[in-house]
Amino acid sequence: MFGNKDKSFENIKDAETVIGPAIKVKGNFHGKGNIIIEGSLEGSIKTDSSLLIGEKAIVKADIKAKEAVINGSVNGNINIDKDLSLGKTASVKGDVICAQISISQGAKINGTFSMHDTNDEKTKKDDTATAPDKNNSK
Angle CA 84–67–14, to nearest 5: 130
Q: What is the pTM of this model?
A: 0.78
Cβ contacts of residue 43 below 8 Å, gap of 6+?
A: 25, 26, 27, 28, 29, 60, 61
Low-confidence ranges of the chain (pLDDT < 70): 1-13, 119-138
The whole-angstrom separation of Cα 18 and Cα 74 is: 17
Q: What is the pLDDT of residue 124?
A: 40
Q: What is the pLDDT of residue 116?
A: 87
DSSP of the chain: -TT-TTS----GGGEEEEE-TT-EEEEEEEESSEEEE-SEEEEEEEESSEEEE-TT-EEEEEEEESEEEE-SEEES-EEESSEEEE-TT-EEES-EEESEEEE-TT-EEES-EEE--TTHHHHHHHHHHH---GGG--
Q: What is the pLDDT of residue 12?
A: 53
Q: What is the pLDDT of residue 120?
A: 55
